[in-house]
Structure 1
């Protein structure tokens, strides 16, 4: 989602307008706060933040499942590592 000019706010200005900015965020905007002219933090609706966290967790689970599938395919193909070799790799 691209930010509009009014959604980019210096953090010094945000201090004075926090309630107003929060109301705009709840109404559907996202605010990007800047510090010394560079993006610093964002204000997003708490429900969206919960959704972002759920997506992040789901992505992590998909990555783990993919890695488990790769490992299982390796095992089924007979490609194994001895305990000694595994210990050596993990020690590095």
Structure 2
């Protein structure tokens, strides 16, 4: 998997307003109503991570989930990170009909 340039990353981030790029990774923070909702989202995200064989650096404090995505083998952000970010977005902010 090829590492994306800073320009490519910033262009792709236009479709991910909750995410920022710094320290060779894309980062987001999501706040939920309570711990249970946050942990539930983390569990659903975990299944996506396994399906994509790509795992985030993340932490949870009560109702806040902080996520960093980078492809360690490429030493930076790749298409794999944006694929997982898209899956995460669908879980934490599902589209309303």
Greater share of strand residues, 1 or 2?
Answer: 2
Greater share of helix residues, 1 or 2?
Answer: 1
Larger radius of gyration: 1
